[in-house]
Amino acid sequence: MKKHIAIFAVLLLLTCFGTHFDFSMGLGSAVASAEEIAAESGPATASGIFLETLRTVKDFLWDNILLYVLLGTGIFLSFTLRFPQVKYLFSTMKKMVQDIIAKKPAKPGCMTPFQSLATSIAAQVGTGNIIGVAAAVALGGPGSAFWMLLSAFFGMATIFSEAVLAQIHREENHGEKVGGPAYYIKNGLRSKGFAVLFAILCIIGLGIIGIMVQSNAVVTSLHSAFNIPMDWATVGLLVIVGVILVGGMDRIAKFSETIVPVMAFAYIFGSLVIVFMNINMLGYALKTMIVGAFNPQAISGGILGLTVREAVRFGLARGLFSNEAGMGSTPHSHAVAEADHPAEQGFMAMIGVFISTSSFVSAQF
């Protein structure tokens, strides 16, 4: 157990460090504007040097470390755990539906397994799922979509392990369950300093950068689609989120379990309608995805200079941004679920990756 926690500690810190640089360099209009200003001012300016340093660090991490650590960890855990994503995914879905029909209540200070799953999916599904596929295909070619799906398959084993560890090493605070990577690094690995470092990086990456990206996307979309003034959209978003958050865990759980199924169904249904409207292109799209994954130049004709490494890199990077497996963001919600056994919540966590990446990426591509 301690060996697995050590692997996760390194993985989580690397992914948190690398992916949050990736978010800050490639997403959000504010960052794009900053890059344009830096380019106009020249590389000698402080902003230009800072952004170039971030880009260099990000590229080094993805090209030399994260590319292998992320997929390697998923493969290692899949074989070690004997592929739980194959054995238990669909049986867990069946049990989840039965619990929803039976309206299984949550104990005080906890969430039901489905509420926990819905909360984690609410965090997983967003800009990464919508823009991530387009960005991966634009930067790495159609084959990147294949690597996104592959990362999701092995990522299910990773997120299973994250959820199990979160369940095992959670604590109780003022009558409510609390947990996540910082807790199982502290309690399992016995490294308080490591846990504090992860918590700080997570606050910066998810609490600041990630929220800026998602809120910017919402406000910009409302303004572009419905011509709603950005100031009013921002105020409205602030009020809605504030009302949900002040209600605590109970209100967050109830909101998530109500909205997330509707959101997921509407998105996938709309995507399927588009697929059927263009059914004659389905075979060609699948062919370009498979061929592009192993021979990108055969698709681009060598004009774009794409390589397998680029297809893998952008596919895995956007896949992580989409499903967040190994990133350490979703175990917080899985830690507070009242499951009969930690492994049961681990199986439930795999559904989140299946929906957020496997289903959504397939529907978009």
Task: State the pLDDT at residue 144.
Answer: 81
- State yes or no: pLDDT of 64 exceeds 90: no
Give residue 313's pLDDT: 75
Q: Please give the DSSP secondary-structure letter assigned to residue 178.
A: E
Specify the higher pLDDT residue, 172 or 108. 172
* Residue where the block lists tokens 């490591």: 194
Alpha-carbon distance 166 to 164, whole Å? 5
Which pLDDT tens digit goes with each residue over 352-362?
888 877 666 66
Q: Which of 5, 114, 7, 24 is nearest to 321 (CA)?
A: 24
More confident residue, 140 or 118: 118
Q: Which of 37-41, 134-138, 297-301, 340-344 is predicted most confidently?
A: 340-344
Q: Which of 41-50, 242-251, 273-282, 338-347 has the lowest mean pLDDT?
A: 41-50
Region 195-202: mean pLDDT is 89
Whether 17 has a pLDDT exceeding 50, the answer reads: no
* pLDDT tens-digit series, residues 279-303: 888 888 888 888 877 776 655 544 4
pLDDT tens for each residue of 310-331 = 777 777 777 777 777 778 888 8
pLDDT of residue 44: 55
pLDDT at 160: 94
Residue 5: what pLDDT? 53
> Long-range pairs for 200-208 at CB < 8 Å and ≥24 separation?
201/13, 201/16, 201/17, 201/20, 202/16, 202/328, 202/329, 204/20, 205/16, 205/19, 205/20, 205/23, 206/20, 206/329
Which of the two residues, 121 and 307, has the higher pLDDT score? 121
Express each pLDDT in 19-28 by its tens digit. Answer: 444 444 344 4
| Residue-wise pLDDT tens digits, 187-197 | 988 888 989 99
> Using an 8 Å Cβ cutoff, are 356 and 129 in contact?
yes
Q: How far apart are CA 147 and CA 231, in angstroms?
A: 39
Q: What is the pTM of this model?
A: 0.79
- Residue 161 CB burial class (10 angstroms; 0-12, 13-18, ≥19): buried
Supply the pLDDT for residue 37: 43
Residue 162 has pLDDT above 60, yes or no: yes
End-to-end CA distance of the chain: 39
